[in-house]
Amino acid sequence: MKGRPERANNVAALRLLARRRLPRPIFDYIDGGADDERSLRRNETAFADYELVPDVLNDVSAIRTGTTVFGQPSRWPLMLAPTGLTRMFHDHAELAVARAAARHGLVYGLSTMGTTRLEDLAHAFDGPKVFQIYIFKDRGLTAEFVARCREAGFHGLALTVDTPVAGNRERDRVSGLSLPPRLTWRSMLSFALHPSWSLPALTGKKFDLANVSHKIDALAGGPMSLFDYIGGQFDRSVTWRDVEWLAREWNGPLAIKGVMTPEDARRSIASGATGVMISNHGGRQLDGAPAPVDQIEAVREAVGGGPDVICDGGVRRGSDAVKAIALGATACSIGRPYLYGLAAGGEAGVDRVLTLLTEEFERTLTLAGINDVAAIARRHVRRRFN
C-alpha cells in the first residue's frame, strides 16, 4: 500500500493509513466507542452472521443500483452519516467529504457539531444534503437551525435522539482528549511526532463548531466556553411531542437517528417522521445496544413499505449493504469509513473509500445474480446460527 490512499484495497487498509497519519488521540477519537466497545465491535461482526445466497444464470451484464434516500436520488443505497469535528481529521473537513459524496451521487449528512457552517457548505456544493439536528433545551436554537436549513436548501433533517448525555469514551479519557483537553505526556509526544499538527490547533480553529459558534460570540469566551454552552444545551427531557413539533416546523423529509426498536420506529412515523436511521451512534453511546443490522427486519415490518429505513453502523464492505437491503433497509450509512479516508488523504481519500465500496456493492450484486437493487430480496440473505 506504501502510504497512498489510491493504493488501498479496502476500508481496513485506509483505517491503518489513517492511524499512521493522525496523532494517536485523534485517531482514537474516530476509531473508539463507549465503555468496553462491545457494540462497536458487534456492529461489524453482526454482518458476518449473515450469508449471501446467490441466484445463478440471471443476465447480469448491466446492474441497476439507483434508489432514493431522503427523497433524493442516490446512485446506490449508501449515504454519508453526520460526524462532528471533522476539521480535526483534515483541514479540508466537511467540504472535502461532501464534494466526494456528490461526485459519487450520494447523500451527505452534515452534523450540528460540524466545523463548516451549513450555509458555506450549501454554497460550495449543490449535491443532495441533509442536516443532523438536535432538539436543544433552547427550542429557539433548534427552530433557528430549521429556518437556516430551509433557506440554505438542505433536502432533509436527521434528528439524533441517542445522546441525552455523552457516551463514556474511555480511549479519550486515557489520551486526555476530553473537554477541555488534558493531554498526557504520551499523547503530547504523539502530537509532536505529527508535525502537521500543533497543540494550539486543538483548541483553536480545528475545534470551531462553526454552526453554533455565533451563539457564544456574546459570551466573549474561547472554544471551551463554546463546549460548555453546547454541553449545557443537551436536553434530557426531549419526548415524542418534540418530534411532532419538529416535524411540523420542518415539514419535509425527516429521519429519527438512533431508533433501535420496532415500537420506536412506528412511533417515529406516527409522530411525523418520514424515516428512521437504525443506529447506536457507531457504538459511541449505549454500549451493549444491539447491532443495527439485527434490527432491520423487525423495524421494516413495523413501519411498512413506505418510510426510509437506514441501517447506520458497522458497514465496511459493499456486501454489507447488500445484506442490509435484503433484510429490508432502504439504504445504509457510513461514518468511520469515510473519516478514515479523509484522514488518510483528504478528498482523494474519501473518494477512494466511496469507489471501493461502490465497486464492492456492484460486484456483490453481480456475483449474487441480482441485476437490479429493487430485486434484492429476503431470500438472498440467511442468518447463520453457530
Rounded to whole angstroms, how far apart are CA atoms 275 and 159? 10
The phi and psi torsions of 218 (rounded to 5 degrees) equal -65, -25
Q: Does 272 bind ligand FNR (CB under 6 A)?
A: no
* Closest distance to ligand FNR from the beta carbon of 55 (Å): 29
Count CA within 13 A, CB hemisphere, residue 270.
9
Look up 214 and say whether it is catalytic. Answer: no
- What the block records as the C-alpha cell of 157 is 433533517
The closest residue (CB) to ligand FNR is 335
Rounded to whole angstroms, how far apart are CA atoms 107 and 155? 9
Pick out residues in 315-344 that bind ligand FNR (CB under 6 A). 315, 334-336, 339
Q: Does residue 80 contact residue 97 with C-beta atoms inside 8 Å?
A: yes
Q: Does 281 bind ligand FNR (CB under 6 A)?
A: yes
**C-alpha to C-alpha distances, 39 to 257, 320, 336, nearest whole angstrom:** 16, 17, 14
Which is the catalytic residue, given 90, 104, 281, 380? Answer: 281
Helix (H, G, I), strand (E, B) or coil at 10: coil
Which residue of 39, 132, 268, 295 would you call a contact of ligand FNR, by CB under 6 A?
132
Rounded to whole angstroms, how far apart are CA atoms 334 and 70? 15
Q: Does 84 bind ligand FNR (CB under 6 A)?
A: yes
238 annotated binding-site participant: no
Q: Does 83 bind ligand FNR (CB under 6 A)?
A: yes
Q: Which of 144, 163, 147 is nearest to 212 (CA)?
A: 144
Nearer CB in complex with ligand FNR: 86/364: 86
H or E stretch at 358: helix 336-367
Beta strand 156-160 pairing with 331-334? unpaired
Pick out residues in 100-129 that bind ligand FNR (CB under 6 A). 111, 113
Which residue of 105, 282, 328, 349 would you call a contact of ligand FNR, by CB under 6 A?
282
Pick out residues in 232-261 that bind ligand FNR (CB under 6 A). 257
- What the block records as the C-alpha cell of 338 is 469515510
DSSP state of 344: H
Q: Does 43 bind ligand FNR (CB under 6 A)?
A: yes
Nearer CB in complex with ligand FNR: 313/349: 313
Q: Does 279 bind ligand FNR (CB under 6 A)?
A: yes
DSSP state of 87: G
Using CB under 6 A, list all residues that contact ligand FNR.
30, 43, 81-84, 111, 113, 132, 160, 257, 279, 281-282, 284, 312-315, 334-336, 339
Binding positions for FMN are: 82-84, 111, 160, 257, 279, 312-316, 335-336
Catalytic machinery residues? 281
Binding positions are: 29, 82-84, 111, 132, 134, 160, 169, 257, 279, 281, 284, 312-316, 335-336
